[in-house]
Amino acid sequence: MPQQITVTEHLLYSQSQVKATGRFTLLLNELIMSAKIISREVNKAGLVDVLGFTGDVNVQGEKVKKLDEYANSILIHRLSKAGVLCAMASEENADIINIPRGYPTGEYILIFDPLDGSSNIDVNVNIGTIFSIFRRRSPADTEVMHSDVLQKGDEQVAAGYIMYGSSTMLVLTTGEGVHGFTLDPGVGEFLLSHPNIRIPEQGKIYSVNEGYQMYWDEPTKEVLRYFKGTDNAIKRPFSLRYIGSLVADFHRNLIYGGVFMYPADHRDPAKPRGKLRLMCEASPMAMIAEQAGGLAVDGRRRILDIEPDHLHQRVPLFIGSRNDVQKILDVYAQS
């Protein structure tokens, strides 16, 4: 009989400072409960009138789909009451979300994208919740500072994502490797299904929206010529796979190997550094990639070394198999 290990059991077995307090386990359990509620709504989205636009626009200027809003409100509501956070930040909210007065607080800070890839909701493509967890740096009995939230990726105590698709899966790192847990709807638990995920050092897949090629700078075009083999007309082993949902594209490359790229482009003057956000997308994914033996850069720097300037800062992202990302670093270094 295969051993069925829940996330909580896995955390307790792999005793480390982060989880030993039990406060972290409580935080994760609230995240997991939120994910189960969101998963239930995502899975029936095609059946009830949850689809379509709310007519509102989020801080990124994007139309908010009802499920985005729903996922955001579930996470804020549940985690506000958990008594383990001193602040939150969401891709959907312009500013830091403080814990309501009178609620118990704790030492952790949660940053999340409640439902990334939401433009794919109507066509049943995998989407996901991405999260990043820091510990506050200021003393417990003081006001939370922006500097508590704007921490570089190397300071994360945990990161992960929940992917809603053919199955609902939690991929989590607390700094001791990357582990995958699949939701068993029968028992309502995430069970350890992918222990110690390692990303192949060398991939055969590159993921990028080639429709923006005319907006890339020369080093980026050089990078793409390498993966396409058109730099010196030899066929390299790469295939192009691009879903347009970060969690889905990243997860495939994590398991099979490969590199995901969202380069800077000059399509939108308001987004000269590309579309993806540092705090709630690039940074958590970079921790997962590096904990699985991969690498994540903005073209010249490790994502995890970048000191954030502001909450919704965007960065170019090249992430995945170490050898492929190293090649990208080499091309940019020579430019």
Binding-site annotation, residues: 91, 113, 115-119, 209, 242, 275, 281
Which is nearer to ligand P6P, 26 or 125 (by Cβ)?
A: 125
* Chain position carrying tokens 């307790």: 12
Extract the annotated binding site for Mg(2+).
91, 113, 115-116, 281
Which is nearer to ligand P6P, 174 or 220 (by Cβ)?
A: 220
d(CA 128, CA 241): 18
The phi-psi region of residue 52 (left if phi > 0; otherwise alpha if psi is between -120 and 50; otherwise beta) is: left
**Taking CB under 6 A as the rule, does residue 246 contact ligand P6P?**
yes
3-state secondary structure of 314: strand
Q: Which of 107, 116, 265, 290 binds ligand P6P (CB under 6 A)?
A: 116
The terminus-to-terminus CA distance of the chain in angstroms comes to 56
Nearest alpha carbon to residue 195 among 328, 9, 1:
9
How many residues of this chain interact with ligand P6P, rule: CB under 6 A?
9
**Taking CB under 6 A as the rule, does residue 117 contact ligand P6P?**
yes
* Chain position carrying tokens 């970048």: 306
d(CA 178, CA 284): 12
**Taking CB under 6 A as the rule, does residue 91 contact ligand P6P?**
no
Which is nearer to ligand P6P, 245 or 283 (by Cβ)?
A: 245
Cβ atoms of 18 and 157 within 8 Å: the answer is yes
Which is nearer to ligand P6P, 84 or 246 (by Cβ)?
A: 246
Least distance CB 119 / ligand P6P (angstroms): 5
3-state secondary structure of 210: helix
Q: Which of 245, 253, 283, 321 binds ligand P6P (CB under 6 A)?
A: 245
**Taking CB under 6 A as the rule, does residue 119 contact ligand P6P?**
yes
d(CA 126, CA 246): 9
Least distance CB 25 / ligand P6P (angstroms): 29
Using CB under 6 A, list all residues that contact ligand P6P: 116-117, 119, 209, 244-246, 249, 275
